[in-house]
Chain A
Amino acid sequence: NAGVMQNPRHLVRRRGQEARLRCSPMKGHSHVYWYRQLPEEGLKFMVYLQKENIIDESGMPKERFSAEFPKEGPSILRIQQVVRGDSAAYFCASSPRQTPQETQYFGPGTRLLVL
C-alpha cells in the first residue's frame, strides 16, 4: 500500500506566479488534510477535505489560497499570486476515517520557494 504521495517535492516560483501542489492520499483514505510548516516552526493546520467537499477551512488564509479534492484525482492546494511569505513546506495527510483518535498519515511534503 503506497503511502501519501505529494508532488512536486520542490517548487520554485517568482512573486506573482501561481503554485499548484498535489496530494494523492493512501488507498482507501477519503479524508485529506493540508498543513503548512514555516521555517523553524511547527505544522499549522490549513484545511480538511473529503471527496468533493471542504469540511473545515478555518486555517486557510482568506485570500489567494484555495483547495479542492475532486471525485477523481488528487487533492490540489492552489496558491495564487505567491509572495515570499508563502515560502514553506506544505504537507498533506490522509486518514480512512474522521475520528479524533485516527492516525493521520503524512506525505513527504512540497517545499515551496518564492523568489
Chain B
Amino acid sequence: AQSVTQLGSHVSVSEGALVLLRCNYSSSVPPYLFWYVQYPNQGLQLLLKYTSAATLVKGINGFEAEFKKSETSFHLTKPSAHMSDAAEYFCAVRQETSGSRLTFGEGTQLTVNP
C-alpha cells in the first residue's frame, strides 16, 4: 500500500522568505511523486514530478523538490516566496503496482505575509 503524509496543514512565511513544504511517502516499490498546486476554486496544476531520472527536480514558478530515498521524502522548496504563491499544495504518489490512481496527501495551505 502507498500513502503520503504532508507535515503541517498550514504554513505561513513572509514574502521573500524560504518556502519549505514537507512530504513523506510510504511505498513498497519505487514511487513516482508529484506536487500539485491548487488556487482557490480552481483545479490542480502540476508543479513538478519525480520519475527516477534525477533526484533534484525543478518545476514551474521557481519551485523544486528533492527525492531522498533514505528519508522517504520529497519536500518542496522555493528560495524566495512571492505573494502569488499563496495556495494549497498537494503531494501525490503513484506506483507501478497501484494502477492508475494518484494517492494524495491532505494538503498544505501556504500563506505569504507581506
With both beta carbons as reference points, the residue of chain A lying nearest to B34 in the complex is identified as: A103
Q: Is residue A106 within 8 Å, beta carbon to beta carbon, of the partner chain?
A: yes
Residues of A within 8 A of B43 (CB): 4, 6, 91, 106-109
Which of A42, A59, A103, A111 is most buried by chain B, counting CB atoms within 10 A of its CB?
Answer: A42
A43 with B44: CB separation less than 8 A = yes
Interface-located stretch among B14-22, B71-79, B96-104? B96-104
Could you write out 25 A-B pairs with CB less than 8 Å apart? A4-B43, A6-B43, A33-B100, A33-B102, A35-B102, A41-B106, A41-B107, A42-B106, A43-B44, A43-B104, A45-B103, A55-B99, A56-B99, A91-B44, A93-B44, A100-B94, A100-B98, A101-B52, A101-B94, A103-B34, A103-B49, A104-B102, A106-B43, A107-B43, A109-B43
Name A residues whose Cβ lies closer than 8 Å to a Cβ of B: 4, 6, 31, 33, 35, 41-45, 48, 55-56, 58-59, 91, 93, 98, 100-101, 103-109, 111
6 A-B pairs besides A101-B32, A106-B45 with CB distance below 8 A are A48-B100, A48-B101, A55-B99, A106-B36, A106-B43, A109-B43
